[in-house]
Each structure stands twice: as structure tokens, then as C-alpha cells.
Structure 1
Amino acid sequence: MTADELCFLTAREMADLVRTGQVSAVELVRAHLDRIDAVNPAVNAIVTLVPEQALADAARADEARSAGRPLGPLHGIPVAHKDTHRTAGIRTTYGSRIFADHVPDDDELVVTRIRAAGAITIGKTNVPEFAAGSHTYNEVFGLTRNPYALDRSAGGSSGGAAAALACGMQPLADGNDMGGSLRNPASFCNVVGLRPTAGRVPQYPSVLPWSSLTVPGPMARSVDDLALLLSVIAGPDPRCPISLADDPRTLDGPLEVDLHGVRVAWAPDLGGAVALDPAVADVLARQVGVLEGLGCVVVEDHPDLSGADEVFRTLRAWQFQLAYGELLDAHRDLVKPSLAANIEAGRELRAEDVARAEGMRGELWERMHAFFAGYDVLVAAVSPVPPFDARLEYPCLPAAGDGGAAGGAGYLDWMRLAYWISATGCPALSVPAGFSGDGLPVGMQIVGPPGADRRVLEIGHMFETSTGHGRRRPPVVDATAAAVAGGESR
């Protein structure tokens, strides 16, 4: 097995090789560091690297195995953490010049759990400034490029994580999702990302511990690996008041199930949330037959999501002004204009605006609960567009199309398919659904009722197994391998 082959094994396979001594943790980490060295300059996914620390931790992991000590489920697996997640002793910038040299003293909870499971921290993945927006660029580290087309966006805010996964620079990744930050980059980079049910993965620390708008979650190259990571980072924590008490081990284990009779509501545009690009619509239309071939009963239907736009935009602005208002006052010249506008929008809110949004959110929850009485899952597009021109901050959508789907040229408009689901509190999985005519990835969003994370994973796993879309490697990987081989032949 070559080092490149090793880097594209599943996380479970890597863990088994380390656990049985067939591959050392040092060998595994070194293989990934070599891959980062070869591929990362093209995509700029991993922005802070700690190779000496990673190799030292890997050596200790090998010593623990040799000594017969208990090993965690991620023992020896290299992971780079999202640069909005605090990491003790490792630079954490949040994609902001304000924190360009910031080194935290402690780990965020999700990082603590991953490292406690035996994973080896190798660095940090790129994000947009304070994770605001679904296109990964900032003035500290620059732009993360899509490995399937280097002139296109990798999505965001977990764009660095998604690109690193696609390129074999890490097998698992952590992230968080407010308006699509785990799902949009997964869709753009042909990997998987889950926005879990709020409280499934506890968030600590948090300026709004009772809020369920932003949730931590996992990313991976397969649903099976994603379930493994989810079982590690899920579970209750007394410092997070909305954390669920469910046993996280129930989230892992074999995902093979019989889908005959599973009721699927098919709504690619969520009933008119936004106009779909024809390339996205064409790819998704072909997936109806896949689902039906698996035994699902697919019906064109959608829930009443009226008010979701106001709910999300209001609560997002309120959260942004609370989290970043003081930073804007102190460092306005260092804050990107779109983020500053979000913060100012929060400051303009009145008490009745927030109260109205919370009331509408309660009504939305009730309507979703009633809708899922008739369906097991809702299936939609993740993004209305394929990966867009990386020189843009965001894509401008076409005017309203047939059927009344909304267009828009605003900062958030193109993200409606993801953030309308965020407003409902439902778990949502982005899984590879195929490619446009010019080879750009398109993701499919599988949404379940609150608490049905395991069911969403089972359906996603059966879908990806039957299609194999996620096994297609990006051109930048093949190009790098060819360049390395050419250099060796000379």
C-alpha cells in the first residue's frame, strides 16, 4: 500500500490498521503530512500545521498501543480542526486579522472529545471571517479553492475542512453549522456533512448556550465514517443546557437497512425557496430513480416553511451583534463589510422583532412535526448552484423562475435551501448526488424530524453505497500524483 492509498482509506480502516499494529500512528500521520505538503499549496485548505507536535503525539499513541493500554475509537487518526474551534497551544484565528496571532489556553469541547478518542491533531482548516458566509476566504490566510475546479469556491464556512477531506489530507473533520456551514461545503467538495439535531453535539463554550441556531457537527468522506465521528463528539455535557441525554453509541454501528416503504418527500427547491440552476436540477432529478430503486416511496411534497426566512435572518443578526458587536466597535477597519452589516442589522432589531421571530419559529416547529407524521425524510438540494466563481463573495441568483422560486442578489439569498432547514431544528445530511456536465459536485440534502439523526444517516449510507458518487476523486489529486510520479521518473 502506497502512502497515497493509505490516505484514502476510510477512518475505520485506518483505526483498525493502527490498532492491530499493521501501520503505526507515526506512519499514518507522516503519510498525511506528506499529502498536505503535496496538495495543500493548490487548495489552501489547512492553514496552520503542527507537524512536530503531531508526530510526537503519534509516537506516544504507538507507545500506548505497544503497552496494551486501552485505545479510543480514533486512535492514531490525524485530524485538522476548524479554525473557529479553540485549540490549546495552537493558533486559532477565526479567519480574522483581529486574532491573527491568537493562541488559546484550552480546547473547545468538540476538540477535547476528538482528542480524547485518540485522534492526532495536525493543524487547523480555513474558514471565512468568523465563519460568516458560505465561501471560504479571509485576509489572514486567503482563499480555499475547490479541489474539483481550482477557480471555484469550496463553500463554507467549513470549506477548508471539506477540501482537505476531498484531497486525502485528513479522513475526518469537525465543524459547525448555522446556515449551511457543514452542508454547503460538503456539497461543493463531494464529501458528507451533517447538521445534527440541536443538542446532539453539545457546544461549549458559547455566548448563547440556550440557542439552537448554531450546532457543531461532523464531516467525512463517507456516511459510515461520519457516524463514527458523530458517536465520538455527541453525548450530554452539563455545561450545555440543550444537550441531549441520548447514548451516543446508538449513532454508530452498521448502517445497512432495508428502505422498502420508506416515505420520502421530494422537494428539490423546498417549495420555492430559491430557483435551482439547471445543472443542479438535472443532477437531482436523476436521484428519484435511485431512491425508488432502494425501495423508497417518493412523493413530490414539501412542508410549509413560511416564516423560515424571517426567523433565520432575525435570530442570526441578533446572535452576530451579541457575539461580535464589541469587536466591531474596537476594530471596524478589520471587519469585512458583509459581517459588519450583519452585526449592524442585529443592533437595529427591536424586542418585538426577536419575539416575533421566536414565535414564528415555534409555529414552524409545529408544522414540521405535523409534516413528518406523513414522511420519514424530506429530500432537497443543498445549494441552488454548483460551486461558483471563487473570485465572487457570493453568487447572484437568477430572477424568480417558473413556479415562483425566489431569486436574489444578497449575501444570504443563495443559502436559503440550507438555512431554512436550520430554522426548523431538524437534522440534515449533505451527501454526494453526482456531477454537473463540467464535473462540478452536487450534493443532496436528506432532512429528518428532530432527533432522527440515525435514520438520516441510514438513508444517506444506503444512497451513497448504491451510487458511489463519493468515491470520485478530485482532479487536483490526480494531477499531484502525476507530478510526483513524473518527478520520481526523472
Structure 2
Amino acid sequence: MTLCDTTATQLLGDLRKGTLTAEALMQASLSRIAERNPTLNAIVALRPTEELMAEARAADAVPMAERGALHGLPMAIKDLSNARGLVSSQGSPLFAGQVAQADDIFVARLRAAGAILIGKTNTPEFGLGSHTFNPVYGATGNAIDPSRSAGGSSGGAAVALAAGMVPLADGSDMMGSLRNPAGWNEIYGFRPTWGWVPSEPAGDMFQHMLATNGPMARTPQDVALLLDVMAGGDPRLPLHRGAESVLPLQDPGPLKLGWLADWGGAYPMDAGILDTCERAISDLEAQGHQVDRLTPPYPAEHIWQSWITLRSYAVAAGLRPLAERRDQLKEAALWELDRGLGFTGAEVQAASDLRAGWMRAAARMFESYDAVLLPTAQCWPFPVEWIAPTEIAGQAMDTYHRWMEVVVPASLLGLPSLAVPAGRGAEGLPIGLQIIGPHNSDARILGLGQRYHNAMAAT
């Protein structure tokens, strides 16, 4: 195993023992980026080499007792978040070249923990759509097959991890934005319980509880390492939580899991998706877990109608300042903006009522099951030239994001969900499996993920 493919946990151990220097690690990372990024286009706005090498040497000079949890690790920040001194374009020509003047909350925590921020990871324009392409930096290719989509919106982060350019990465997730790229690039992405990782205390903070930042890595152990740095409350935010450590991860032992498959036929799936996921489920059973196939606990259409209303309502709130520059917004952004600004209060309340119904149904489900399972996407990675799939299994997609409906049950309630690699299909393309737990079961879900990872690594 090369240095760039070593886990973050191992790298940090070597840095603390003095058998590895931050300078050597930075040089290896930059060499890997130079080798693979021209094809994949995962890292954007890379800082100058001389600056990064100087920062790595400075990190090596810090006494061991003063080093943080991520000291000396190179990291690139998703280009939807602000990192002081780095370009923050959000993939939009409206903000191309704009340099952030301050860190977002979680970015400041990464920096304080000693991470060296090397640049940004690519994302769709404004993070809309689970396919990473934009007019500023272009498209990111899948790590397994660069002619295919990397997913999104954390596609650049997932590919940078899979290709060994960075050992850890941040992502964000409203509608599967770190789970789908994880599944399509054979890494791990974790959407934590809503409120564990704080958003920015700006604008309305009460009505739009859908998206969250979260960690991505090549093992659940490394995901937990990054989560412990990112997590922790902020008193300016509603439902904020104090610092809760998930490390050290505990093996949860055999659990009772529910397999929701295609939600009783509600979610069209490409041929081979369910078969591949069910092979991974057989592996979970071989590891001692009980897995039952479940009937849908709540109507999929109710979840979807709640979601597309509340999502457009939230996205429009963020895009509202750009409404007068609509000629420079992409079609998906205009669709969300116009829908979100057009809802009546009664329509938003009706969507919230449907969400409350799903919350009650999910609570009953989790009385019987420790976690439930779903695919990370309904189709295989599609050609990178596409904007989005227009049909799956012969069923037309009626929105630009309907093909990602399978991630919505967790998103709508802010449930913790870990994307794990499930395997590859007949054409050699990968898919993942979502492991979704009740609120605040984050440590148990990650422990289950590490048990799964260890078993897969041993085969």
C-alpha cells in the first residue's frame, strides 16, 4: 500500500510517532494529484506548491503536545463551503474567483485541528443535482470509470478520496449529496443526525432543516475521526448539540436490520442495482446480522411530495438574493427558485404535515429494527456528458432529481445514514448501500460500518 492509499488513522499515528513527516505526506499527495487529477478533475483551486510545502514544514516544527487531531493531514474543502483565503465559487460564474474572507464553522474546526487546506473539491453549480459538473471548472469523472458521473454534489470529494489525493474529505448532504458519490466511488460517506455538525448561523435557521455537512473517508473509522472534529454545537443554532465523541468505535454486535429495497416497487431501479445490494446484504447476514425484507412503512409519494415542497422552499430561500440575475442561473436553480417562491403558507404546512406523518411511521419502524437499508442510488453511474437520467427502467423521470428519490427518506427526517460500498454490477460500475438509523444512533451506525468494512477487507 502506498502512502496516499493509507488510512488517515494510520497516517496520523505515524506522524505522532515521528516515522512520517507532514512534508513527506504533502509531497506524496501533491504527486498523486499531479498524476490523477488531470483526468479526474476532482481537486480545483489548488494552492501553490511552495505555499503548501512551507506549511507542511511548519507543521512538522510544532511540538507533539500542541498538535491537534488532524495535524499535518492535507485536506481540500468542498467548493460550497468557505475557507479563508481560498476561492469559493460554488461552481457558479457569478462567484468565480471570489476569495473567502473567513472560515465556515466546521472549516475553522478542521484548521484548528491541524489540517492543511490545499484547495477545493469540485461540485455542481450551487450543489444542485447529483452530478458534479459546472461552467467554472467542468465535470469530475468517476474514480472507477472517468467517462461516467462521479455523482454529487460531493463528487469531487469522493473522487479525491478514492484516487488517494486526500486521506479525508468533507461533504454536504441535502438529497444524497455525499451518499450517492460515496456509493459510486467505493468510499464511505456519512450524513450525521441533523444538528450534530452545525451549519452557518445566517438567514433563517428554523424552517429549512434539511441539509447538513458530514465526513467522507475510505473507512468508517476515518469517517468517525473526522466527524469528531466537525461535530459539536453552536448556541446560535436551533437544535444544536454539544460535542459528542463517537470514537473509539464499538462493535455493536449482531443487529436487526430491515431491507427496504425499492420501497415496494415505488422506486424504479436499473437492472442489477438490487441484486448487487442484496449480495452485500448476504455479507451482512454472514457477519451475524438478521436482515428482514420490509414492506413500505409510509407511502413513498407522501415522502416525495413533502420533500419537493420543503426542498424548493429551502433552496429558494438561499437563491433569493440572485433572483434578479436569473439569466445567469442554471435550469435546475430556476426551477427550485420559482417553485419555492410561489408556495402559499398552506402548501408549506401541508408538506410539513406529511413529514410529521413519516416521522411517526419511522419511529414505529425503529422500535423493531436497529437500522434499515436502501441503495445509494436508483441507477448506475451514467455518462459524464449527461445532465441527469431522464428515465430509469422505462419510467420517465419528472424532475431533474427524481432518480435520487431513494435517499429522501433519511434526508426528510435528518436521520443518520452511512453509505458503504455494496459492489459492482455486470459492467464493472459500483453502487452503495445506505445504512440508516434512528436519530442519534450515529456511533452505532459507524460501528456497524466498521464491522462490515473489516469483514470485506478480510475476504
TM-score range, shorter chain: over 0.9
Residues 249 and 443 in structure 2, CA contact (< 8 A), matched pair in contact too: no
The reply on whether 1:8 has 2:5 as its aligned counterpart is yes
Q: CA RMSD in A?
A: 1.6
Equivalence map 1:70-89=2 (5 Å): 70-89=66-85
Q: 1:196: Cα distance to partner?
A: 0.8
Equivalence map 1:50-61=2 (5 Å): 50=47, 51-61=49-59
The reply on whether 1:297 has 2:297 as its aligned counterpart is no
Residues 252 and 444 in structure 2, CA contact (< 8 A), matched pair in contact too: no
Q: 1:132: Cα distance to partner?
A: 0.6
Distance 1:55 1:305 in 2: 54
1:290-325 deviation per Cα after TM superposition (whole angstroms, max 9, x unaligned) = 121111111111421442111111111111211112
Q: Where does residue 264 of structure 1 map in the other structure? A: 257
Q: Where does residue 177 of structure 1 map in the other structure? A: 173
SS of equivalent residue, structure 1 residue 146: coil
The reply on whether 1:419 has 2:408 as its aligned counterpart is yes
Q: Where does residue 99 of structure 1 map in the other structure? A: 95
Equivalence map 1:308-323=2 (5 Å): 308-323=303-318
Q: 1:348: Cα distance to partner?
A: 1.6
Which of 368, 382, 386 aligns to 1:374? It is 368
Q: 1:362: Cα distance to partner?
A: 1.5
Equivalence map 1:276-425=2 (5 Å): 276-301=269-294, 302-306=296-300, 307-329=302-324, 331-398=325-392, 408-425=397-414
Residues 249 and 446 in structure 2, CA contact (< 8 A), matched pair in contact too: no
The reply on whether 1:468 has 2:457 as its aligned counterpart is yes
Q: Where does residue 482 of structure 1 map in the other structure? A: none
Which of 407, 412, 436 aligns to 1:447? It is 436
Q: Where does residue 487 of structure 1 map in the other structure? A: none
1:344-378 deviation per Cα after TM superposition (whole angstroms, max 9, x unaligned) = 11122111111111122122111111110010000
Q: 1:110: Cα distance to partner?
A: 1.1
Which of 62, 65, 68 aligns to 1:64? It is 62
Distance 2:244 2:115 in 1: 18
Q: 1:326: Cα distance to partner?
A: 2.3
Residues 209 and 242 in structure 1, CA contact (< 8 A), matched pair in contact too: no
SS of equivalent residue, structure 1 residue 379: strand
196-205 or 372-381, larger mean C-alpha shift: 196-205
Distance 2:54 2:425 in 1: 43
SS of equivalent residue, structure 1 residue 432: strand
Where does structure 2 lack aligned partners over 5 or more consecutive residues? none
Where does structure 1 lack aligned partners over 5 or more consecutive residues? 401-405, 472-490
Which of 205, 209, 212 aligns to 2:209? It is 212
Q: In the alignment, residue 88 of structure 2 is paired with which amino acid?
A: T
Percent of pairs with identical residues: 38
360-369 or 73-82, larger mean C-alpha shift: 360-369
Distance 2:213 2:447 in 1: 20
Q: 1:207: Cα distance to partner?
A: 3.0
Residues 88 and 107 in structure 1, CA contact (< 8 A), matched pair in contact too: yes
Q: In the alignment, residue 418 of structure 1 is paired with which amino acid?
A: V
SS of equivalent residue, structure 2 residue 20: coil
Q: 1:407: Cα distance to partner?
A: 5.4
Equivalent pairs counted in the alignment come to 455
Query: Could you say if the C-alpha distance between residues 119 and 377 of structure 1 is closer, same or farther in structure 2, counting changes exceeding 3 Å?
Result: same
TM-score (structure 1 length as normaliser): 0.90
Q: Where does residue 459 of structure 1 map in the other structure? A: 448
